Amino acid sequence: MVEPVLKHRWPKSYKEAVRLQERLRSRLILGDRTGDVRIVAGADVSYDKGSDYYHAAVVVLKFPEMETIEETHASGKAPFPYIPGLLAFREGPIVIKALKKLKSRPDILMIDGHGIAHPRGFGIASHLGVLTGIPSIGCAKSVLVGEFREPGARRGAKSPLVYKGEEVGRALRTKEKVKPVFVSAGHMVSLDTACEIVIKCCTKYRLPEPTRRAHILVNEVRRGTLTTGISTSRIALTSCPSPGGRGVKEACHSERSEESALLNIYNSLLAHYGPQHWWPGETPFEVMVGAILTQNTNWGNVEKAISNLKRSDSLSPEAINAMPETTLAELIKPSGYFNIKAKRLKSFIRYFVENYNGKTEEMRKRSSAQIRRELLSVSGIGPETADSILLYSLEMPVFVVDAYTKRIFSRHGFFPPDSDYHDVQRFFMDSLPEDVKLYNEYHALIVRLAKDRCVKKSGQCELCILAGCTNEAQ
Ligand code: SF4
């Protein structure tokens, strides 16, 4: 949705870049052409350490509510060296690349940089404003040119930033007793309006939410930790689905946006509940045992059974293999169905010891498809248990599906409630990036949500974090 209205070749030399800045400056509009401001986008850039490889993130928020609507990011190699005053030539191309991925068109573009508070009156915020045709604001953490007096201590206090006798921006106190930010008009926004928008975008932090969130996102992208917040284009959730999911599918997602919709739900859950630290278990072997014992019971009961095994020094493949089935049944009694589970556990341990010497590292040398086939051939191990072992014990990228997954996502219209295990699994694995950490945390969050709000009888939608699943971009 954000296609540049003006395109130019990105210069390679200092002289060329300065000439282009001077030429483009004549296109600047410094009065208000903002219209009704409903959405604001913030952009930020981050570099890989000691490298020219860099990343840009754009976060789009509702104004003035500051709810995230959409996020995009892009990565690449910086085409221009760092030269103060020519930042647009280094960072502009990557920000434009991220902007092009947006599905919405922001009313305001806020850049962590300067607009006209610049040696040639044409900083990166002005440059991107002119290229995109979107009214733009520079909101920088430090001064590039000009002088200012410290504004008053109260939030909202401001003082002029003066360069060559002209007010080119303002030092704006966005948080009491915290250093000011430096606001300048970029393009099609007056300085008064720019300051007003920036202060409305500041919640409890010094930096306005659009650039603050873009900063967080771009660092996640750089660190490769986006599994706790992954997307190339995340789309916001808004109105609540009916618990029965009627009519939700059309509103909630389309094939095109399945990844976005799933990642958006994931991000919402993670932000709300935090990491779940699954699977509880001190060793991969303990996780395997837990995966079998947790069938048809709650985790509290499994913990008691595992404690019994630990207390009797029996939580090892060798000990369980050597133990009579009746003794094992007695020890795991708290997990329920203990005779059946003792038989299942013995079958599994036999397979594990005979084929892999009781060593998970030996198992990890095989493909997940092979291990899965083998596990499913062990008596009493079904797809969910096999996949739990693959994901949580062997750390292989296999999405675990359970009744909770089907309940929540069928209520949101992603698939019918009676969908087959493997169809649901394929849906998730085809839609999401292959990522062990993501699959791990996502499943744990699904379980948390199902127990907290999306209970069997009917979901407590009005209290639920997923009370809203309309893809606004559709
Ligand atoms: S309780 Fe939450 S997850 Fe369940 S249907 Fe309602 S909004 Fe969706």
Contact 293, 345 (CB under 8 A): yes
The CATH number that domain 225-474 falls under is: 1.10.340.30
Angle value at C-alpha 42, between 36 and 48, nearest 5 degrees: 165
Contact 432, 443 (CB under 8 A): no
Work out the pLDDT band at 225, boundaries 50, 70, 90: low
- pLDDT per residue over 127-155, tens digit each? 999 999 999 999 999 999 999 999 999 99
DSSP-assigned beta bridge partners for residue 40:
61, 108
Q: Where in the chain is the domain with CATH 3.30.2170.10?
A: 14-213
Secondary structure letter of residue 280 according to DSSP: P
**Best of 239, 451, 460 for a ligand 1 pocket test (most atoms within 8 Å of beta carbon):** 460
Residues lining ligand 1, Cβ inside 6 A: 241, 243, 408, 411-412, 449, 453-454, 459-461, 464, 466-467
pLDDT value at 239 more than 80: no
Q: How far is the CA of 369 from the centre of ligand 1 (A)?
A: 33
Q: How large is the greatest C-alpha to C-alpha distance in the chain, in angstroms? A: 91
Q: How far is the CA of 66 from the centre of ligand 1 (A)?
A: 23
Residue 28, SS3 per DSSP: coil
- The torsion of the CA quartet 220, 223, 227, 229, rounded to 10 degrees, works out to 0
Q: What is the C-alpha to C-alpha distance for residues 148 and 355, in angstroms, rounded to an integer?
A: 74
CATH fold of the domain at 14-213: archaeoglobus fulgidus dsm 4304 fold (3.30.2170)
Contact 186, 28 (CB under 8 A): no
Examine residue 64 and say whether the peptide bond preceding it is cis (omega within 30 degrees of 0).
yes
Angle value at C-alpha 153, between 147 and 155, nearest 5 degrees: 100
Residue 281, phi-psi category: left (phi > 0), alpha (psi -120 to 50), beta (remainder): left
Ligand 1 atom nearest to 468, measured from its CA: 7
Q: What is the C-alpha to C-alpha distance for residues 244 and 412, in angstroms, rounded to an integer?
A: 8
Which tokens in the block code for residue 394? Answer: 């062997």
Q: How far is residue 471 CA from its own chain's centroid?
A: 16
Indicate which residue's Cα is closest to atom 6 of ligand 1.
461
Please name the amino acid found at residue 32: D
Going by C-beta distance under 8 Å and a sequence separation of 6 or more, which residues neighbour residue 276? 441, 444, 445, 447, 448
Q: What is the C-alpha to C-alpha distance for residues 442 and 444, in angstroms, rounded to an integer?
A: 5
Q: How far is the CA of 155 from the centre of ligand 1 (A)?
A: 39
> Which pLDDT belongs to residue 434?
82
Ligand 1 atom nearest to 241, measured from its CA: 7
Mean pLDDT of the chain: 88
What's the N-to-C CA distance of the chain in angstroms? 13
Ligand 1 atom nearest to 245, measured from its CA: 5
Q: What is the C-alpha to C-alpha distance for residues 10 and 331, in angstroms, rounded to an integer?
A: 71
pLDDT value at 411 more than 70: yes
Work out the pLDDT band at 117, boundaries 50, 70, 90: very high
Contact 463, 241 (CB under 8 A): no
- pLDDT per residue over 159-181, tens digit each? 999 999 999 999 999 998 788 99
Q: How far is the CA of 240 from the centre of ligand 1 (A)?
A: 8
Contact 273, 306 (CB under 8 A): no
Nearest to 260 by CA among 237, 224, 240, 233: 233
Q: Which stretches within 224-333 are classed as H helix?
A: 248-252, 258-273, 284-293, 299-311, 317-322, 325-331
Whole-angstrom CA distances from 445 to 188, 235, 361 are: 44, 19, 27
Q: Where in the chain is the domain with CATH 1.10.340.30?
A: 225-474
Secondary structure letter of residue 392 according to DSSP: I
Q: How far is the CA of 427 from the centre of ligand 1 (A)?
A: 19
3-state secondary structure string across 11-27: CCCHHHHHHHHHHHHCC
Q: How far is the CA of 263 from the centre of ligand 1 (A)?
A: 16
- pLDDT per residue over 282-308, tens digit each? 899 999 999 999 999 998 999 999 999
Indicate which residue's Cα is closest to atom 8 of ligand 1.
466
The least confident of 89-98, 232-241, 253-262, 446-455 is 232-241
